[in-house]
C-alpha cells in the first residue's frame, strides 16, 4: 500500500509531470531529458556510479604503487597534521575540569569495587568457614 503512494511511481504522478513539462504547446524536450541524470535511482545511475567508483579505486592503487616508501610516509604525516588542525583543543580551565571529573569518577568506582570485594571476601569466609 505504501509503495503505491511513493512519489513518482504512480501513473497519476507521471501524467501530472508530463503536463507540467509539455505545457500544452506540443513541443517535447527530448534533447534536454537525455542530458539529465536519472532521478529515480534507475539502473543507469547505479551502473555509472559503480563504474566511477571502480575507476577511482584503480587510479588510487596505481598512484600508491608509483609513490615510494618515503613519499607515503610524508603523505601520512601531512594528513595527520591536517587532521590535528581540525581538532578543537580544550582551554586550560576545561582541561582541569575534565581531569577533576575523571579522577573523582575513578576514585568513586575504586571505592565501590573495593567495598564489594571486601564484602564478598567476608561472605565467602562466613559461608565456608575461617580455617584459622
With respect to residue 66, please indicate whether it lies within any of the assigned structural domains: yes
With respect to residue 25, please indicate whether it lies within any of the assigned structural domains: no
Q: How far is CA 129 from CA 114, 115, 122, 126, in A?
A: 22, 20, 10, 5
With respect to residue 130, please indicate whether it lies within any of the assigned structural domains: yes
Give the pLDDT score at 129. Answer: 82
Torsion of CA 86, 92, 98, 99, to 10 degrees: 120
How many residues are given for the chain?
Answer: 132
With respect to residue 129, please indicate whether it lies within any of the assigned structural domains: yes
C-alpha gyration radius of the chain:
33
Q: How many Cα atoms within 13 Å fall on the side-chain side of residue 99?
A: 7
Based on the fold, state whether residues 98 and 127 are members of the same structural domain: yes
Q: Which three cell numbers stand for residue 128?
A: 565456608
Number of domains in the chain: 2
pLDDT in tens, 78-92: 999 999 999 999 999
pLDDT in tens, 118-128: 999 999 999 98
Based on the fold, state whether residues 80 and 43 are members of the same structural domain: yes
Based on the fold, state whether residues 74 and 104 are members of the same structural domain: no
Confidence (pTM): 0.40
Based on the fold, state whether residues 48 and 82 are members of the same structural domain: yes
Domain that holds residue 63: 39-87
Amino acid at each position: 500500500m505504501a509503495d503505491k503512494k511513493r512519489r513518482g511511481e504512480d501513473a497519476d504522478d507521471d501524467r501530472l509531470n508530463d503536463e507540467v513539462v509539455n505545457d500544452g504547446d506540443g513541443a517535447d524536450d527530448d534533447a534536454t531529458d537525455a542530458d539529465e541524470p536519472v532521478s529515480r535511482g534507475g539502473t543507469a545511475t547505479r551502473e555509472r556510479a559503480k563504474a566511477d567508483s571502480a575507476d577511482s579505486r584503480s587510479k588510487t592503487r596505481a598512484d600508491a604503487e608509483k609513490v615510494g616508501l618515503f613519499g607515503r610516509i610524508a603523505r601520512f604525516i601531512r594528513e595527520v597534521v591536517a587532521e590535528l588542525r581540525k581538532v578543537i583543543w580544550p582551554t586550560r580551565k576545561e582541561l582541569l575540569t575534565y581531569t577533576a571529573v575523571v579522577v573523582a569518577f575513578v576514585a568513586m568506582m575504586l571505592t565501590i569495587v573495593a567495598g564489594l570485594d571486601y564484602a564478598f571476601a567476608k561472605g565467602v569466609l562466613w559461608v565456608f568457614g575461617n580455617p584459622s
